Chain A
Amino acid sequence: MRRLLEPARPGPVALGLLALAAVCVLVAGAQHARLFHRGYAEVEVVGLLFLMNAIGSTGVVLALVFERAWLFVLGALSICVPSLVSIAISHSSGFFGFREGGYDADALVIVVAEIAAIVLALLGAAATATAKANR
């Protein structure tokens, strides 16, 4: 827990990967905010989760800005993984009673950005840990 809150100084490669992950997190968060204002606000539970995704995305990116790299990685995974799972569920059995019939451009932006955020955050975390082990 303390490690999460301690400032971490990743190397240039790790920082680059984490910065790209942060951009992807922000893109997905902004897209959730956009969809929230374009009709999803009225969808029970799902609308609120869209708003929380946008707010949470802002928070975790701020964590990276202030050098809490591990908090950023944990936060990015905690937002993006459940979000992707929720999207998949909403396209099959239904998520809190909400079902969607297909992936339009709006949904694809989120899916691509969140998958990229997960991959980049994990690579950035691995690079950070490797660099620390080699020191």
Chain B
Amino acid sequence: MRLVLAALVVLVMGAAIAGAGMGEAPAEREAAPTQAAVQAAKQRIAAGGAVMARGRQLFADEGCDRCHAIAAVGAGGRLGPRLDRLDDDAEDIAESIADPRDDTVDGYPEKLMPTDYGRRMDDEEIQALAAFVAAVSGGEASDDRRGRGRGRGHGRGGGD
């Protein structure tokens, strides 16, 4: 009896630990960008100057890379949506950073992203981070708006 119980515990927990029937991360359903898109994103980061460098640094320092994937910088987070396939401009991204509950991507946990980035970072930092994400996503912001800091993010005055 004891051995049967032990075997049952090992079987059930072993299956869970091995991932059987555990599902997949929501981000698994998103395709990674093409190599060409990754290369283009790297070029935009390199050409982006100080704002882009600041945004990239904040992306790592604030822990964004734990949850979000950006192939161009080797970030592989899978808890939140990929940020290199967004179709948002820097302004929308800045608003999402400051108020992540306002507009969430379908299929992802709504409560996971912290809501205090708007307090933890000043306007300039949020604009730099948004400009960086916009640049790597290849969205509208990446080519003609990058680094100009016009995003507002809920009434913020931009500038960088």
Contacts and interface: CB of A to CB of B under 8 A. Distances in A.
Given A29-B13, A65-B5, A65-B6, A104 B77 contact: no
Contact of A62 (B6, B25, B79): B6
A62 to B, nearest CB: 6
B60 to A, nearest CB: 9
Interface in B96-114: 100, 109-114
A88 interface: no
A101 interface: yes
A46 B67 CA distance: 12
Interface residues of B, number: 33
Nearest to B75: A42
B19 interface: yes
Dominant SS among interface residues on chain A: helix
Interface in B109-131: 109-116
Contacts, number: 98
A26 B79 contact: no
B31 interface: no
B17 interface: yes
B111 A57 contact: no
Interface in B26-68: 26-27, 63, 66-67
B71 to A, nearest CB: 13
Mostly helix, strand, loop or mixed at chain B's interface?
A: loop
Interface string A91-120: 000100111111110100000000000000
B9 A26 contact: yes
A30 B78 CA distance: 20
Contact of B78 (A42, A102, A106): A42
Interface in A53-104: 54-55, 57-58, 61-62, 65-66, 94, 97-104
Contacts of B112: 100-102, 104
A103 B109 CA distance: 10
Interface in B76-98: 76-79
Contact of A33 (B9, B10, B13): B13
Contacts of A36: 19, 22
B64 to A, nearest CB: 10
A98 B23 contact: no
7 nearest A-B residue pairs (beta carbon): A102-B111, A39-B25, A33-B16, A37-B22, A39-B78, A101-B114, A39-B79
Interface of A: 26, 29-30, 33-34, 36-44, 46, 51, 54-55, 57-58, 61-62, 65-66, 94, 97-104, 106
7 contacts: A33-B22, A39-B27, A39-B77, A42-B78, A58-B13, A58-B17, A98-B63
